[in-house]
Amino acid sequence: MAHLSYSTAGESHGQALIALIEGMPAGVTLDVDRINREMTRRQGGYGRGGRQGIEKDRVNILSGVRKLVTIGSPIAVQIANKDWRIDDAPPVHRPRPGHADLAGSLKWLTTDCRAPLERASARETAARVAAGAIARCLLNVFDIEIVGYVCRIGPVVAGIDAQASPAELTARRDANEAYCPDAVVVDDMIAVIRQAMDDGDTIGGWVEVQVHGLCPGLGSCSRWQDRLDGRLMRAVGSIQAFKGVEIGGGFELGKLPGSQVHDEIDYDPSLRETACLGFTRRSNRAGGLEGGMSNGQPLIVRGAMKPISTLVRGLDSVDLVTRQAARCDYERSDVCAVPAASVVAENVVAFEIARAFLEKFGGDTLDEVRAAYASYLRQARELGD
């Protein structure tokens, strides 16, 4: 049994993007329509650029399945690029502040930023969304629900209903182009993006992901590398343009005394048969994670995305050939990609949850995973009996 993992390949204007997923057990049915809906959502949201009008992302599953059921071998997924022109794309000699242009050019010893920018582009996240959407086909079997959404655009902050179910949050989110479940602030969010567009500027924001239906004990405190909070922060923090990640109460918890931070524990026998095993909390400031492990409460992770680094009006830079001052080059880009980033965050979180789930309950087949999960829940419920 291999550990669940994935890697991606491909450039922004190359032939295609590829996701290679290894370690998925045999017997998982892939819902291609649902996977493609995630691909479409990643391309949407208010503030996207012209590239999204060219591409129509769909997954082409090349291996690892038979009749849309996984067979235990590596799953290769292709997302074709219609705007394939990497060989003809012009050189970029004036790096954009905030992008990978300068650092990448110096790393690979070139005055042409084209090569590093092609791989550093957020276009790569299409492959990550595909991998996460496939992982969710496994999580769905175990009633683990995941929803991601926008909770801030620039100065406009959403109010998120802490009692709303994943289905309610999803429905509210999908009702608008800001991908925000708070209808009260949607118009203000869109107005902020529109103003940035008019100014030739860009705007960032925050996204949040909730995971419901997790049992306690995913992740581990035994090795720092296995702590689920660290793994989630790495997954979300590695999304292009993300500059901060927090879990639960996050940075705000550093301002408070422990009596106002830690989630006191109760036991409700009516919830014994659910994934939380009957253990409840009076609050969820820990965001569903304690000691690097899930604790049975909803998992909440949040990421901050900086404004896109390609501005229509440009920024001051230096020409790498002449070393003279110049305005940076312009590559077609978005004004705001925060709604799209919420889709990426949702799916990279899904993959990390699936990875942790299989580490605890893994087997070569879905039936073995089911049996291990059922056995664990039974033993956990019987503790103290």
Kindly tell me if the per-residue pLDDT of 53 is higher than 90.
Answer: no
The β-bridge partners of 209 are 148, 301
Mean pLDDT of the chain: 94
Q: What average pLDDT does range 180-191 have in this prediction?
A: 98
pLDDT of residue 261: 96
Main-chain dihedrals φ then ψ at residue 119, nearest 5 degrees: -85, -35
Residue of higher predicted confidence among 311 and 13:
13
Q: What average pLDDT does range 136-151 have in this prediction?
A: 98
* Domain extent listing, the chain: 5-382
Judging by DSSP bridges, how do beta strands 145-153 and 156-157 pair with one another? antiparallel
Residue pLDDT, tens place only, 85-115: 889 999 999 999 999 999 999 999 999 999 9
**Contact assessment for residue 372 and residue 141, using Cβ atoms and an 8 Å cutoff:** no
Kindly tell me if the per-residue pLDDT of 183 is higher than 60.
Answer: yes
pLDDT of residue 334: 87
The Cα–Cα gap between 232 and 376 comes to 23
The residue written with tokens 């991908």 in the block is 179
3-state secondary structure 2-29: CCCEEEEECCCCCCEEEEEEECCCECCE
State the DSSP code for 90: P
The Cα–Cα gap between 150 and 328 comes to 30
Residue pLDDT, tens place only, 287-304: 999 999 999 999 999 999
Kindly tell me if the per-residue pLDDT of 1 is higher than 70.
Answer: no
Counting beta carbons within 10 angstroms of the beta carbon of residue 268, is it exposed (0 to 12), middle (13 to 18) or buried (19 or more)? exposed
CA torsion 89-93-95-101 (nearest 10°) is 60
Q: To 10 degrees, what angle do helices 366-382 and 338-361 make?
A: 80
Which residues, at least 6 apart from 252, have a Cβ–Cβ distance to it below 8 Å? none
Kindly tell me if the per-residue pLDDT of 60 is higher than 90.
Answer: yes
**Contact assessment for residue 54 and residue 1, using Cβ atoms and an 8 Å cutoff:** no
The residue written with tokens 């809906």 in the block is 37
H/E stretch holding 300 reads strand 299-305
Q: What average pLDDT does range 257-274 have in this prediction?
A: 95
Q: What average pLDDT does range 27-45 have in this prediction?
A: 97
Q: What average pLDDT does range 34-48 have in this prediction?
A: 93
Residue pLDDT, tens place only, 334-385: 899 999 999 999 999 999 999 999 999 989 999 999 999 999 999 999 987 7
What single string gives the DSSP state of each residue in 53-85?
A: HH-----EE-SSEETTEE-SSPEEEEEE-SS--
**Contact assessment for residue 278 and residue 257, using Cβ atoms and an 8 Å cutoff:** no
pLDDT of residue 228: 98
Beta strands in 213-247 (DSSP E): 242-247
Residue 56: which pLDDT band, with cuts at 50, 70 and 90? confident
Residue of higher predicted confidence among 262 and 383:
262
Q: What's this model's pTM, rounded to 2 decimal places?
A: 0.95
The Cα–Cα gap between 349 and 353 comes to 6
Question: Token pair for residue 63?
Answer: 């291996």
Main-chain dihedrals φ then ψ at residue 52, nearest 5 degrees: -70, -20
Which residues, at least 6 apart from 341, have a Cβ–Cβ distance to it below 8 Å? 125, 207, 239, 241, 242, 303, 305
Kindly tell me if the per-residue pLDDT of 50 is higher than 70.
Answer: no
Q: Is 280 helix (H, G, I), strand (E, B) or coil?
A: strand
CA distances from 250 to 152, 292, 368 (A): 16, 14, 36
Residue pLDDT, tens place only, 225-250: 999 999 999 999 999 999 999 999 99
The β-bridge partners of 294 are 289
Sequence-ordered alpha helix ranges (H) in the chain: 32-43, 51-54, 101-107, 114-120, 125-141, 166-173, 183-198, 228-237, 338-361, 366-382
Pick the CATH number of 5-382 from 3.60.150.10, 1.10.510.10, 3.40.50.300, 3.10.20.30: 3.60.150.10
Q: What average pLDDT does range 318-332 have in this prediction?
A: 87
